[in-house]
Amino acid sequence: MSDYTVRTLRPDEHRAAVDLFRSTLHVVPTTDETWKLSERMLQPGRTLGAFDTELIGTARSFDAEVTLPGGARAGVAGVTGVGVRPDRTRRGILTGLMRTQLADIAARGLPFAALRASEGVIYNRFGYGVATRSRGYEIDRRRAVLRPDVPAGGQVELWSLDTALERLPALYESLPHTRPGMMTRPPYWWPGWERHAREATSPVVTAVHHGAQGPDGYVVYSVERKHWNDPAVLNIISLQTATSEASTGLWRYVLGVDLVDTLRAEERPLDELPELLFTDIRAVKDTGGGDELWLRLADVPAALAARSYAGEPVVLEVADPVLDGNSGRYRVAPDGVERTEETPDLRLGVDALAMIYLGAWRPSQLAAAGRIQPVAPSSLERADRLFATPVPAWCGTHF
Ligand SMILES: CC(=O)SCCNC(=O)CCNC(=O)[C@H](O)C(C)(C)COP(=O)(O)OP(=O)(O)OC[C@H]1O[C@@H](n2cnc3c(N)ncnc32)[C@H](O)[C@@H]1OP(=O)(O)O
């Protein structure tokens, strides 16, 4: 491990941290113009810097809330902006940043941290696990003929970018968070959306669905076409709805946009199945999915107690290599969670706990892969039932 220190950065050091992060992603530094937006993405007091003779690594987080199985919401630190200068990598700098950051998140009383990972090999060691998975698909517009029984849907209205920037935060907040893993979007999140929309090479369009009670869903998209005669792709950037009427209304709208050959969506819920709307079920092709939200239980007892369960109790023995206070045995049951000295049913790391926590993976699947050690194999069935969720977990918020 090299000689370095980690500390919280002052606001006047934020731009250097953002530019360092961008350089680790091979992206050009901010300009004075783009910095005006980027600086609003940083929650004061939440950006860490690692220094030897100068700034060599950074990581930051912002406060949000995540929806849990059962519908409760809990505090989560959205971790982002993680990077180490390429001439200082593989010397433990990220390890120092992660340890400091997780200790700080736990000390703030946040039960969870969460992130989107640039690579799949980095974050398990710090106790993060893949807690939501997503689906990508493409729709062949010409084959996507709606079945006659598809509900009509309401009116759809376009919002200009300025109107969207003003009104989307409240609309997003008003829509129900029906899936475990969905996150609130605090003021630190929206400037990133604005930057993306303003820097995009094709217009970013917001179409809002109006139901009987007013706006109840929206789709954000852009259409990309390389040359005039090339096929055009409508990329769905965001699609959030409160009702199935809003959903079918917005599908009718995007399928009706002219000069489009293909509709493409990525990072969508596993149970979002537009093919059910079409006369030809093969109008939709899977383009692959993958890991979406990586979750970290920063306060294991508080996190375990915050979600709902069904079935019979299970005793977990959790090992946390970073926040040792979390290690121990927990009796998890629908009527509550408590620390215990009882013999464990299952032994698992805190990263595997994150993988089962929102229901994305069954404990028996992780046990089959050696990621969970059942003390008694029959306990796996109980654990599968206890952690199961009726709808697949999905986050839908990129950060
Ligand atoms: C939430 C987000 O912001 S995701 C974005 C993450 N950032 C990036 O991908 C930018 C490009 N990459 C980087 O900046 C750096 O390589 C980082 C931040 C991923 C890793 O930083 P480092 O300081 O090199 O990590 P550190 O030395 O602490 O590594 C800890 C362990 O993880 C391993 N590791 C870290 N990164 C990687 C990687 N990309 N691939 C494989 N192994 C890795 C190290 O080998 C080490 O293993 P060990 O404990 O067995 O020796």
Question: How does pLDDT run across 9-39, given as a tens digit for each residue?
Answer: 999 999 999 999 999 999 999 999 999 999 9
Verify whether ligand 1 is closer than 6 Å to residue 322 (CB atom).
no
Please report which confidence band the pLDDT of residue 228 belongs to, taking 50, 70 and 90 as the band edges.
confident
Instruction: At 368, list the tokens.
Output: 């089959």
Please report which confidence band the pLDDT of residue 310 belongs to, taking 50, 70 and 90 as the band edges.
very high
C-alpha to C-alpha distance for 254 and 264, rounded to whole angstroms: 11
Please report which confidence band the pLDDT of residue 1 belongs to, taking 50, 70 and 90 as the band edges.
low
Read off the pLDDT of each residue in 359-382 and give the average, rounded to a whole number: 96
Verify whether ligand 1 is closer than 6 Å to residue 93 (CB atom).
yes
pLDDT in tens, 119-143: 999 999 999 999 999 999 999 999 9
Verify whether ligand 1 is closer than 6 Å to residue 374 (CB atom).
no
Instruction: At 373, list the tokens.
Output: 């050690």
Torsion on CA atoms 376, 382, 384, 389, rounded to nearest 10? -160
CB-CB contact of 296 with 114 (8 Å): yes
Verify whether ligand 1 is closer than 6 Å to residue 115 (CB atom).
yes
- Residue 66's pLDDT is 98
How remote is the CA of residue 118 from the centroid of ligand 1, in Å? Answer: 10
Name the percent of the chain lying above pLDDT 90. 97
Q: Which atom of ligand 1 is nearest to the CA of 90?
A: 27
Q: Which domains does the chain have, with CATH numbers?
A: 5-132 (3.40.630.30), 134-289 (3.40.630.30), 309-387 (3.30.1050.10)
Q: Catalytic: 172?
A: no
Q: Catalytic: 21?
A: no
217 is in an annotated binding site: no
Please report which confidence band the pLDDT of residue 376 belongs to, taking 50, 70 and 90 as the band edges.
confident
Verify whether ligand 1 is closer than 6 Å to residue 25 (CB atom).
yes
CB-CB contact of 123 with 111 (8 Å): no
- Residue 43's pLDDT is 98
Which one of 62, 123, 126, 188 is the catalytic residue?
123
How remote is the CA of residue 321 from the centroid of ligand 1, in Å? Answer: 17
C-alpha to C-alpha distance for 58 and 83, rounded to whole angstroms: 6
More confident residue, 278 or 1: 278
SS3 state at 381: helix
256 is in an annotated binding site: no
- Residue 377's pLDDT is 83
Phi first, then psi: what are they for 74, rounded to 5°? -140, 160
C-alpha to C-alpha distance for 230 and 236, rounded to whole angstroms: 19
